[in-house]
Amino acid sequence: MEPTQPATNPATEPRFPLAGVDVVLADLDGVVYTGRNAIDHAVDSLNRAAESARVGYITNNASRTAEAVAGQLSGFGLSVAADDVVTSPQAAVRLLATVVDPGALILVVGGEGLTTVVEAAGYRVTRSADDGPDGVIQGFSPEVGWKDLAEAAFALAADIPWVATNQDWTIPQERGIAPGNGTLVSAVHTAVGKLPLVAGKPEKAIFDAALERFSASKPLFIGDRLDTDIIGANKAGIPSVLVLSGIDKAKQVLAAPTDSRPDFILGDLRELHEEYPATIETKDPTGARVFEVRSARVKLHGNVVTVLDEGSSPVDLLRAGSAAVWASGLMIYGMVVDPKLYE
């Protein structure tokens, strides 16, 4: 058999994810912890990253204050102050200030993590639509119930601004995946027929707030989900890492549309400090494209993706497989993908 020939495109050079980075921005749920439990290797890896870069934390979770989040992270062994945490309520209040002047009365749907930030910005808080609020701000809290959503709907019958901290459909918990703020926002949307301004990921507002706070010139963002974390970082022009410790796994990575593809795919955060392997593309004698990451090899022929060699690392196999799928220019539902890539 003839040897494979190099493809037209040059091989990607190996690189280190943290090379030249001055600020590491990390999501929390699914990256640092799940519920009350720290994720394996996350704390040690982030402490090591802090030796060469500023480490900040971005969270769409609006249920707690930045001080409470910093306290939890410190309890895991991270060196964190409240100012190192950028929350979606903080970004939401910045957004609220563009449509409602401070001093106005705001109906709040959410917990202490939201009310304290709203009040600190100079707004007055109400829980009742009968008070005639000037705007509505909505964020996740486990205590939010039907009555809270109904008050938001009643208030929004008037033509007033509505800001949501985020629209995450799910939130990882110790017992599994639970409904997130997006489900609660959707309930109100269904009732009122309008959409909110959104501050949290995947919108730029929360990333802009973080870049400004940390004076970042070469940031790197770490997230666990494509539809909020990675697409948001891409919108903000920030290189991104997807770590496979939270929501999204191999199947979602393979199916990722162009705007939600990460720059790096890591199995866990230890790999932040390791050389990221090159993806080498060649062509076999039939003209099929072959993608190789270390010992993992995947072939793309037309719309068919086949594993040639699983290699020694599942994450390397996923890197090679995603390179093949993404290079096809086809939607995933129009392809035949080897189940070895996602089972």
Please name the amino acid found at residue 334: G
Whose CA is closest to 332, among 257, 229, 249? Answer: 257
CA separation for the pair 248, 168 (Å, rounded): 13
The answer to whether 179 and 144 are in contact (CB under 8 A) is no
Give the chain's length.
343
Catalytic residue among 27, 134, 168, 224: 27
Candidates 269, 267, 260, 198; CA nearest to 233 is 260
Distance in angstroms (rounded) separating the CA atoms of residues 16 and 14:
7
Q: Could you tell me which residues are beta bridge partners of residue 155? A: none
In this structure, the dihedral spanned by the alpha carbons of residues 76, 82, 86 and 89, taken in order and rounded to 10 degrees, is 110
Distance, in Å, from the CA atom of 134 to the CA atom of 126, rounded to the nearest integer, reads: 10
Q: How many CB atoms lie within 10 A of CB 161?
A: 19
Which helix (DSSP H) or strand (DSSP E) does residue 118 occupy?
Answer: helix 112-120
268 is catalytic: no
Contact 96, 120 (CB under 8 A): no
Structure tokens of 277?
């392997």
**What are the residues facing 172 on neighbouring strands?**
177
State the helix-helix crossing angle for 88-96 and 204-214, rounded to 10 degrees: 100
- Cis link prior to 102 (omega < 30° from 0)? no
Per the CB < 8 A criterion, the answer to whether 223 and 31 are in contact is: yes
29 catalytically annotated: yes
Backbone dihedral angles phi then psi of residue 38, each to the nearest 5 degrees: -70, 145
Choosing from 22, 29, 101, 227, the catalytic residue is 29
Helix (H, G, I), strand (E, B) or coil at 258: helix
Question: Which residues are known to be catalytic?
Answer: 27, 29
